[in-house]
Amino acid sequence: MVIKILFVIFVGLAGGIAVGSGFVAFLAVLGIIPRLTQLTKTMKMIIWYQWAVVAGALIGGMGSLRDPAIFFPSLTLIPLGLAGGIFVGAMAAALTEVLNVFPILAKRIGIEDKIVVLMMAFVFGKIFGSLYQWLYLVGR
């Protein structure tokens, strides 16, 4: 019995370590945090950003595994949604950067100086696609 419990604890811990380190490694490769510190000029606080990620992952893990409820007004969800969207959007942008999407595309069609226009197409496409899914497609 004790061995069973210990084994389950060990497996849980091992799984958690795999997921957690994978998450952090993914964030590190994409380089979102350095980018945000560069924008806000808060390089010195980078250690606190590290703890923000750790705390967020822990709270998110607990929230998704233990079904808590804190009974806040639903308006609280607006900033949360915005924050989540910005995070995912920055991740998507970082991913296109890692994959060299924009440089190759701009060179192919020869609009290297109008790359902003190209990027805005991506941005509006994302907003439109996401709104379309949640407002129309899901409720159909």
Partner 1 sequence: MEETIYIRMRHRVQIRPNDTVLLKDIAQIIAHERIHQDLQNLKVYTFKAQDNNIIIIDVMEVIEKITRAFNSVEVQAIGPSQSIIEVIYQKKRMSVPFFVLTWLLLFFGSALAIIYFHEDVSMQATQQKIYTIITGRVEARPLIFQIPYSIGLGLGMILFFNHVFRKRLNDEPSPLEVEMFNYQQDLDRYVSLTENKESMKRIDGH
Residues in 16-45 at the binding interface with partner 1, rule: CB under 8 A: 19, 23, 27, 32-33, 35-42, 44-45
Which lies closer to partner 1 via its Cβ, residue 6 or residue 81? 81
Torsion sign, CA atoms 25, 31, 34, 40: negative
Q: Measure Cα distances from 97 to 35, 37, 132, 137 in Å.
A: 12, 18, 25, 29
Judged by CB under 8 A, does residue 124 bind partner 1?
Answer: yes
Q: Cite the DSSP H helix spans in 67-110.
A: 77-98, 101-108
Which residues in the 102-121 window bind partner 1 by CB under 8 A? 102-104, 106-107, 112, 115-116, 119
Q: Which of 5, 78, 108, 140 binds partner 1 (CB under 8 A)?
A: 78
Residue 92 CB neighbour total at 10 angstroms: 13
- Name the token pair of 77: 């969800």
Q: Which of 9, 88, 109, 111 binds partner 1 (CB under 8 A)?
A: 88
Q: Which of 3, 73, 108, 110 binds partner 1 (CB under 8 A)?
A: 73
